[in-house]
Amino acid sequence: KAGVTQTPRYLIKTRGQQVTLSCSPISGHRSVSWYQQTPGQGLQFLFEYFSETQRNKGNFPGRFSGRQFSNSRSEMNVSTLELGDSALYLCASSLGGWPILNTEAFFGQGTRLTVV
Amino acid sequence: KQEVTQIPAALSVPEGENLVLNCSFTDSAIYNLQWFRQDPGKGLTSLLLIQSSQREQTSGRLNASLDKSSGRSTLYIAASQPGDSATYLCAAAGGTSYGKLTFGQGTILTVHP
């Protein structure tokens, strides 16, 4: 079956602009989480959605937001882009659900965002 | 707050060697620990998932162990091959942090012919 699909794969944006990234989870997976990966900070958690509800959020400014649709697809948005937002943005999907927390996370190939 | 540490940061070995990558975590109240592989510029590939009730998991040449009481996990790679060269990451999931994985900084593995 198809894996996690992220679009676009690459983006170049200018400071001050906004950007929307998309993630389609594995069919049947209801949890989608987002991570930012940079050489200096490694992988950092942004937020997690399950059944269209944000259940958890990392320590990122309000410029970072997300949402999940009824088909479990998710988008994240970054407004007023800064140079430091340049990173690889990864999304992961899992079955999710409570109290099933022992589910395996599967990652997409990521979106490489470059802010100039 | 969960913190995950991986040692060594980098490892270079000749082909055929058996090797061990280490991962430690500060909060033992984890639900599972997952090992990933990442090739340059690519996403993460799941290698093994160890649930909190398990002590180890095996897949082919890979074996991962988990000791919650000591806050440690190890990934054992048998008979390493050049194709194993990649960054290996461990990630802990726990508590009420739904969907949140706390990652280590990774071990960069190079297997030379």
CB contact under 8 A, B99 and A112: no
| Model confidence pLDDT, tens digit, residues B81-98 | 999 999 999 999 876 667
CB contact under 8 A, B101 and A33: yes
Amino acid at B63: N
At residue A100, the pLDDT reads 54
| Model confidence pLDDT, tens digit, residues B18-65 | 999 999 999 888 888 999 999 998 999 999 999 888 999 999 999 999
Prior bond to A25 cis, omega within 30? no
At residue A96, the pLDDT reads 75
| Model confidence pLDDT, tens digit, residues A29-83 | 999 999 999 998 999 999 999 999 998 899 999 999 999 999 999 999 999 999 9
Q: What is the mean pLDDT of chain A?
A: 93
Q: Which of A4, A101, A107 comes nearest B31 by C-beta? A: A101
pLDDT-derived band at A97, boundaries 50, 70, 90: low
Residues in chain B: 113
Chain A contact for B98, CB < 8 A? yes
* Contact residues for A15 (Cβ-Cβ < 8 A; gap 6+): A81, A82, A83, A115, A116
Distance CA(B79)–CA(B75), nearest Å, equals 13
Compute the C-alpha angle A112/A114/A115, nearest 5°. Answer: 150
**3-state class of B42 per DSSP?**
coil
